[in-house]
Structure 1
């Protein structure tokens, strides 16, 4: 199965906004760190033969450690995932030609927060 598993958390929207407001360069720093985390997970998946056919819907199964964070705040991390995919050369561009539909589902896994990304046929 073509599935990418990325460890979480990268950075929720509320955390990102707080960093942005607190330091002029803070947002760039945390974005770079999150993108690097995704890139490393993608390189591992690519070494295992994972490939996507771009232009298909993508499924994101978000496994979070508690219910205190709203789902839309968690799904903000799409940005870091697509940037990491581009940095790893897994995805050429995150434009409308490549990204056509996103499906998000949310689960709790206190021991192993992560997002599992796969293409949908």
Structure 2
């Protein structure tokens, strides 16, 4: 579980256009946040068998943001997993299928990542 919202694609694009280093700064912050929560999960014994489908349950605070604008954050989550040492590489060998589901939770926006058995 990683608290959200880290950002939307539109916010990221705006930061890229607004400053030479704006996008890089935001990407680092989002990756570091993801890495911190992945490290906590690892300390609690969470493990994945890489090469299996992954499900992302995105809990957003409202319906004003399109789901694809939210799900672009896969990149930050996977980069955070690599920084934390949970994932060696986010390449084709490890990431074979992604399934996204979207929900509203005004009080607790977050993303939950699960390994699927099928």
TM-score by length of structure 2 reads 0.98
The ranges of structure 1 where at least 4 consecutive aligned residues each deviate by more than 4 angstroms after the TM superposition are none
Find the counterpart in structure 2 of residue 27 from structure 1. 23
What is the Cα-based RMSD across aligned positions, in Å? 0.3
For 1:17-96, list aligned pairs within 5 A.
Answer: 17-96=13-92
CA–CA distance in 1 between the matches of 2:81 and 2:33? 10
CA–CA distance in 1 between the matches of 2:7 and 2:48? 25
The one of 98, 102, 109 equivalent to 2:105 is: 109
* Number of residues of Structure 1 aligned to a counterpart in Structure 2: 117
TM-score by length of structure 1 reads 0.96
Per-residue deviation, 1:21: 0.1
Per-residue deviation, 1:11: 1.4
Tell me, which stretches of 5 or more residues in structure 1 are unaligned? none
CA–CA distance in 2 between the matches of 1:11 and 1:107? 16
Where 2:2 maps in the other structure, the secondary structure is strand
